[in-house]
């Protein structure tokens, strides 16, 4: 068989990148000279490859501007499907009953499998640590530790180190939200912040409204405190159904509502501002605390930082939004530095912080504060956002390519996880077990709800650098899904 000419090989590589979404419609591609240098090809070879792609309608040339991906280049592909919306709340009695929560054992077992050597971490809840500026933060930590004799034992006490409180407040100000450093309480990650806030506003046996599906840390907090979860339908594009929440509030006592309005895990949506405003107004009308998980807010794909529920909250006695966040998803997961802005409940949260864990270690707080002071955080975030956007498109493309017909996927607007609805009848728990036997982790839908309503859903992590191993793992998962369908 004759060897494929170099220009055709290069053309196919470029076409594959365009098909996978690495190069977007309307985006400029490398000039002939630059492509020649990057790929160590002759200028003639690159020109012939570009001419071939142009004749196929994949790219187009703009005089004096260069070559661009045609906006119609992906038109022949099947449109990317979204996860179907949840059934109407009022017509579905399954949504109207609060439920005892017991998902922690399954979540713990799932997380332990991710730590096994050699596994492909598609089920990991954590971002790829290789993307973090770990070396710089470690250098700051080492210097602070050497000078630890200058620290006082009282530096560890709540609400947190003054330098970090000021830097957190400054970051919010840069993103359009005025925050008083005195309103912030530093915690051991966002998980502790969520637990403290829930403990401050509700009691054992109370009913707490949550999105469904929802991030399992929300369910853990409810389970730990002996409360009951009331699952509210959540749209994969627009977020929690405020009408359904209002209906629930009018028909039963709801002590609090826990939501993730920006880039929710696992759906990835960004709740529209009008819906955020309405949700805060509803909470105000019924004097219902809103616990906002904002850990993914910095990982937006758009040009503008999203607003939070806290943006529409009233300070002082009207401060019903208890905003929680951390640096674990955007800067470093090693130090577990989070915080709460609990509004009117600030005094209770600070007291509970002291009673629960006494304090958050000072050295990690100071190291992160030093990093933020020295600059570079925004540049780091721009890089991470660009990588996540590209890898989201790759993951979506290959899931739709390798998984059986009928598979639907979310289209996250931020964060780094993909929610996948498998064809009906596929048992995600059985898929989880079979994948694990092959050294692949996935997150089964069962851990994202108090009930087993997501038995044929999985969540995938796309933060890790794309590789042949990840692509091969997706092929194997798709093959296993097909086997489960055939045996059903």
- The model's pLDDT over 51-106, given as tens digits with 9 standing for 90+, comes to 888 877 888 888 778 888 887 544 343 333 445 444 444 455 555 666 665 667 77
Segment 345-380, tens digit of pLDDT: 999 999 999 999 888 999 999 999 999 999 899 999
Angle of CA points 389, 309, 224, to nearest 5°: 90
pLDDT at 432: 92
In this predicted model, which residue has the larger pLDDT, 243 or 115? Answer: 243
Instruction: Check residue 321 and give its pLDDT.
Output: 97
Predicted pLDDT at 102: 63
Amino acid 85: pLDDT: 44
241-288: pLDDT as tens digits: 999 999 999 999 999 999 999 999 999 999 999 999 999 999 999 999
- Alpha carbon separation from 473 to 112, 119, 438, 469 (Å, rounded): 19, 10, 9, 6
Q: What is the pLDDT of residue 76?
A: 41
The torsion angles phi and psi of 260, rounded to 5 degrees, stand at: -130, 85
Top-ranked range on mean pLDDT: pick from 81-95, 151-165, 398-412: 398-412
Q: 431 vs 57, 435, 448, 472, CA distance in Å?
A: 40, 6, 16, 16
| Residues 378-388: tens digit of each pLDDT | 999 999 999 99
- Torsions phi, psi of 28, nearest 5? -75, 140
Residue 416 has pLDDT above 50, yes or no: yes
* Contact between residue 190 and residue 234 where contact means Cβ atoms under 8 Å apart: no
pLDDT in the model for residue 91: 53
Give residue-wise pLDDT tens across range 216-242. Answer: 989 999 999 999 999 999 999 899 999
All structural domains of the chain, each given as residue ranges with its CATH number in brackets, are 6-69 (1.10.10.10), 102-128+383-487 (3.90.1150.10), 131-377 (3.40.640.10)
pLDDT confidence of residue 22: 66
Structure tokens at 302: 């758009």
Q: Which two tokens stand for residue 370?
A: 């030093």
| H-state helical runs in 147-188 | 162-174
Beta-sheet pairing, 408-409 with 417-421: antiparallel
């Amino acid at each position: 068989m004759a060897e494929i000419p170099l220009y055709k090989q290069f053309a196919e590589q470029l076409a594959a990148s365009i098909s996978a979404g690495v190069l977007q419609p309307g985006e400029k591609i490398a000039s002939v000279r630059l492509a020649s240098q990057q790929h160590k090809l002759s200028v003639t070879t690159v020109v012939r490859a570009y001419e071939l792609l142009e004749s196929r309608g994949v790219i187009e040339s703009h005089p004096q501007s260069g070559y661009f991906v045609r906006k119609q280049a992906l038109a022949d592909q099947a449109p990317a499907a979204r996860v179907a919306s949840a059934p109407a709340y009022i017509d579905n009695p399954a949504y109207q009953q609060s439920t005892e929560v017991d998902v922690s054992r399954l979540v713990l077992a799932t997380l332990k499998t991710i730590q096994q050597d050699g596994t492909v971490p598609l089920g990991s809840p954590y971002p790829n640590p290789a993307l973090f500026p770990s070396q710089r933060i470690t250098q700051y930590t080492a210097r602070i530790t050497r000078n630890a004799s200058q620290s006082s034992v009282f530096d560890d006490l709540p609400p947190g180190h003054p330098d970090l409180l000021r830097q957190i407040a400054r970051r919010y100000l840069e993103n359009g939200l005025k925050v008083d450093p005195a309103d912030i309480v530093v915690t051991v990650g966002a998980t502790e912040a969520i637990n403290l806030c829930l403990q401050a506003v509700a009691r054992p046996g109370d009913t707490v409204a949550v999105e469904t599906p929802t991030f399992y840390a929300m369910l853990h907090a409810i389970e730990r405190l002996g409360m009951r979860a009331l699952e509210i339908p959540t749209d994969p594009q627009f977020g929690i159904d405020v009408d359904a929440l209002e209906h629930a509030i009018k028909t039963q006592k709801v002590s609090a509502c826990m939501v993730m309005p920006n880039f929710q895990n696992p759906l990835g949506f960004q709740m529209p501002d009008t819906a955020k405003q309405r949700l805060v107004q509803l909470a105000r009308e019924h004097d219902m605390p809103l616990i906002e998980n904002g850990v993914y807010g910095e990982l937006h794909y758009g040009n503008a930082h999203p607003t939070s529920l806290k943006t529409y909250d009233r300070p002082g006695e009207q401060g019903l939004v208890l905003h929680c966040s951390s640096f674990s998803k955007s800067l470093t997961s090693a130090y577990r530095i989070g915080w709460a802005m609990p509004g009117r409940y600030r005094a209770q949260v600070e007291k509970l912080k002291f009673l629960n864990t006494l304090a958050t270690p000072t050295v990690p707080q100071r190291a992160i504060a030093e990093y933020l002071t020295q600059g570079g955080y925004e540049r780091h975030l721009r890089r991470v956002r660009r990588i996540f956007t590209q890898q989201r498109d790759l993951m979506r493309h290959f899931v739709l390519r390798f998984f059986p017909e009928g598979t639907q996927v979310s289209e996250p607007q931020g964060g780094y996880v993909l929610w996948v609805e498998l064809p009906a009848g596929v048992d995600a728990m059985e898929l989880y077990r079979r994948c694990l036997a092959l050294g692949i982790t996935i997150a089964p839908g069962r851990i994202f709800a108090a009930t087993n309503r997501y038995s044929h859903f999985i969540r995938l992590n796309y933060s890790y650098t794309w590789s042949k191993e990840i692509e091969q793992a997706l092929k194997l998962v798709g093959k296993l899904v097909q086997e489960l369908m055939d045996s059903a």
